[in-house]
Structure 1
Amino acid sequence: MIRLAHTADLPAPTRTLLDTAFEGDFADTDWENTLGGTHALAFAGTELIGHAALVQRRLLHGGRVLRAGYVEGVAVHPDHRRRGHASALMTALERLLPGYDLGALSAAEEAVPLYEGRGWRQWRGPTFALTPSGIQRTEEEDGGVYVWPARAPLDLDGELTADWRAGDVW
């Protein structure tokens, strides 16, 4: 069962689930970046087994500021993987994307087949971040950013700049 909830209504074990699913590689800044939006939660009975968040961000592309629905913290408990839970979580969030100019996310290599299979498209152009000291190149993120085209026309080979935040910018 998938349930949508605002950050204010997250069940207590959400952070623990993310720590478990990411095998201890989920920093406090990663947690902070999942907050403030809509969360898709997967349950097996009353047990929380999956999570994905959609938070609003600003991206710059083609001389425009775009409202992005940015996907964060997609995770399924290791004991419940490969049963369609991640796809169900994404379906719930993708239903909300028409309210944004585009959807965006940064994909771990092992998750690329999930996103590509759902219609997410790889951003082929260079990526940047709008930092406190100006726009800086984020070459290490090139090829790992995926978008869900919604209302804004996109040139997937053009430049894409993310707003600044603590931790991983993308």
Structure 2
Amino acid sequence: MSLPAAVLAAGAWLAAVSAALIVTDVRSHRLPDRLVGAAAAGVLALLTVAALTTGQWTDLARAVLAAGTVTAGSLLLALPRATGLGLGDVKLAGVLGLWLGWFGWLVVATGLLAAVVLGGAWTTARLLAGRARRDDAVPLGPWLVLGAALATVAHLAGPAPA
């Protein structure tokens, strides 16, 4: 599958910022607004350039709608509890929804599901091995990024549309 250069640039930008976000989240259980904001601004700007140069306005509209939908859904999950899903996770999920939304709703759902399954499996394994307690904080950012990366790769490696 051939992608517009601006979409490739958006993916590269997101990957670079995500690397910094993962390190920060693992170390401090924080996803700084300045980094998440930089990721959002860069991805949105580059996807807009892609739409301008290719006419893929529907893809951009879906990406923006996916970002809003994922952010709103994540916020609904985060609000009932002061612990668990943090606002940094909510914002990062929205940025990843923006990226995945360019490719379609199924890719968005796949990325989110992969994040939950992988993060849950890792946490369960740690609990069973006695390396964690039920009340330990788990950084979700790395799993959100990994889920989005796997969904992206699976989509791009899949069969070309007929």
Same fold (TM over 0.5): no
TMscore range, shorter length: under 0.3
- Greater helix proportion: 2
Q: TM-score, normalised by structure 1?
A: 0.23
Q: TM-score, normalised by structure 2?
A: 0.23
